[in-house]
Amino acid sequence: MIRFVQYNENEFQDKANLTFEQISQKVKKKYCNWWILPIQSTELVESIANAYEIHHLISEDILNTQHLPKVEIAENYIYLTCKVFRINHRRDIEPEHFNIILTQNNIFTFHESTENPIFEELVKKISHNFSRHRKHGNDYLFYSIIDQIVDHYLNVVEMLRDELEEIEDSLLSNRDQTTYKEIMMLRVELQQYRRYTDPLREGISKIRSEKHSLVSPTLVTYLRDIYDHLVHIQYNLDSTRDLLNNLIELHHTKMGTENNQVMKTLTIISTIFIPLTFLAGLYGMNFKYMPEISYPYSYPILLLLMITSASFMLVYMRRKKWF
């Protein structure tokens, strides 16, 4: 089923659970007609493509949830696919496939989940009588949808930086093996965000430079703002990547320092026991003729010699500040 949002400066309606045929009868010129559709229905996607002369390869891209962001510009429509980030109750970030098609009188958005807070917020803004959206056409709605997505990207990057700062504090305060795993997981996430944001920036630049009947001078101005936001996101991702690399180096340095300290302690213990082991081995040999063995004070003398040797080495190392 489809959700349909239709409005102009004076009217607004938001209807859910409609069929393709019902909405087709409601579409009006000089209105913004926003179709909110689920990706899961292959038949519905194909029906939209056939009715509005959208290339079948675009239909395949819509249904392919693993597709990277891209832009396709045709004579009668502009198509953009990207990822929308959802934050679940565990504060994990889940990317969702998203598609938007701008035509002369309609905007189609295809979602993996039609109940996304990002778009609910946008619908709420549009419903207000004095909203800026009500005074503009489909191109402004096209911009607003992409702007909502990009603004949420900024929130995700900020959340990522907060997580890195928490990991940095944890790394400096204790030796936790899970911290390194978290760093590597964030590194994978960061690479994933770059894969999603870089092509989107290129796609926005492509729309800006295209002379197309659907691309008004107003839309070009607004898309420049989105492009600037994406450049800012790229800068933040680069700085976050540098911070992440610094944390990895810090972790390796800390692990190396702690391992060196362990080796140093073991070396000191081994060094102290070298003369003790020699004395124990020497007088542990069961030769028949060893005059020291028959001496009545051999045992206490040997113990005293061992204690003296160990004490001398401890004092010597301490004065050298080896521990």
Buried-state track 288-302, b at ≥16 Cβ within 10 A, e below 16: eeeeeeeeeeeeeee
What torsion do the CA atoms of 37, 38, 39, 44 make, to the nearest 10 degrees? -60
For residue 72, what are the CA distances in angstroms to 58, 79, 207? 8, 5, 9
226, 147 contact by CB (below 8 A) = yes
272, 314 contact by CB (below 8 A) = yes
222, 143 contact by CB (below 8 A) = yes
Q: What is the C-alpha to C-alpha distance for residues 125 and 118, in angstroms, rounded to an integer?
A: 11
Q: What is the C-alpha to C-alpha distance for residues 1 and 114, in angstroms, rounded to an integer?
A: 10
Q: What is the C-alpha to C-alpha distance for residues 316 and 114, in angstroms, rounded to an integer?
A: 74
Domains of the chain: 2-254 (3.30.460.20), 265-319 (1.20.58)
- Helices 298-319 and 217-282 cross at an angle (nearest 10°) of 150
Q: What is the C-alpha to C-alpha distance for residues 276 and 117, in angstroms, rounded to an integer?
A: 73
Q: pTM, whole model, 2 decimals?
A: 0.77
Q: What does the pLDDT read at residue 38?
A: 86
Q: What does the pLDDT read at residue 230?
A: 92
**pLDDT tens for the chain, residues 1 to 323:** 789 999 988 899 999 888 888 988 888 888 899 999 888 788 888 989 999 999 999 999 999 988 889 999 998 999 999 998 877 666 677 788 999 999 988 999 998 876 677 788 889 989 988 888 888 888 999 999 999 999 888 888 888 888 888 887 777 776 556 677 788 888 888 888 888 899 999 999 999 888 888 888 888 889 999 999 999 999 888 888 888 888 888 878 878 888 888 898 888 888 888 888 888 888 777 777 777 777 788 888 888 988 998 898 888 888 888 77
- Helices 138-173 and 217-282 cross at an angle (nearest 10°) of 20
